[in-house]
Amino acid sequence: MGRTHEIVIAALSSIGFLIAACTATVVSKKEGMVEYAGTQSDIFRTGKASRVISLKDLKGLYGLYAMGPIEGLDGEITVFNSKPYITKVKENDFVLDTSFDHGAFFLVWSEQTKWKDIAIPNTVKGYADLQRFVKAQAQTAGIDTAKPFPFLVSGTPAEIKWHINVDRTDGKPITTELFLRSKENFISKDEPVDIIGFYSEHHAGIFLTRFAPDIKEGSGMENAIHIHFVSRVSKAAGHIDSLILSEGMVLRFPNP
């Protein structure tokens, strides 16, 4: 009986371990060169910004580039080459953390180790210009623009208007209006940065918005990029709403 009892205990322990392992598995979807978990539209369906993934689930991935909003509308996640840059609003300023100890209510990412550079001409000035240029150059490079793909931009923009999410819902279910209100806006000028972007024409409401401050409804154009940045000289990092590019900036595409 003692031996039988031990076997039963071991079997139950194994089952419990497997259940826990399955529960911890990240539910994500991969399309093109991009993988994502959760969707932006879920917060309006549920009224909550609940965690769908922990950054710890991706820790150890080589050449990781990722972005998303922190659960509970409590900051922004940007991962550049496997290093997290987590910003949260604190009073009228913000703080930067570089740990993986954060969760997102949606996250989009890609693993890339090789990139090829394309000079950005001076005619590409703003957000909409950049979106058009990214698509045109991706097509020239042989990238299937019908599927989502990552890109990078480096250099010193003349200006970046950006934000960090901060919960201003007062405990109410999240609506579009409350979501738009739950942002602290900042401006960075003449700061060398690395920009991470994801391009897609088919993922509005999933990991990007259909419109943006510089691509408004009725303009005849829809938003197809989600872009974050990391400063090389300060603690600034977050979601880009608008930008003005300057000379000498470089676009980068994955180079398999």
Residue-wise pLDDT tens digits, 23-48: 445 689 999 999 999 999 999 999 99
Q: Which domain holds residue 235?
A: 27-254
**Residue 132, in any domain of the structure:** yes
**Residue 165, in any domain of the structure:** yes
What does the pLDDT look like over 49-98, one tens digit per residue? 999 999 999 999 999 999 999 999 999 999 999 999 999 999 889 999 99
What does the pLDDT look like over 112-146, one tens digit per residue? 999 999 999 999 999 999 999 999 999 999 999 99
**Residue 1, in any domain of the structure:** no
**Residue 125, in any domain of the structure:** yes
Please count the structural domains in the chain.
1
**Residue 129, in any domain of the structure:** yes
Give percent of the chain above pLDDT 70.
Answer: 90
**Residue 17, in any domain of the structure:** no
**Residue 70, in any domain of the structure:** yes
Domain CATH for 109: 3.30.1330.80
**Residue 11, in any domain of the structure:** no
The mean predicted confidence, pLDDT, of the chain is 92
Going from the C-alpha of 169 to that of each of 72, 176, 196, 231, the distances in angstroms are 10, 11, 28, 29
- pLDDT value at position 20? 41
Could you tell me the pTM of the whole model? 0.90
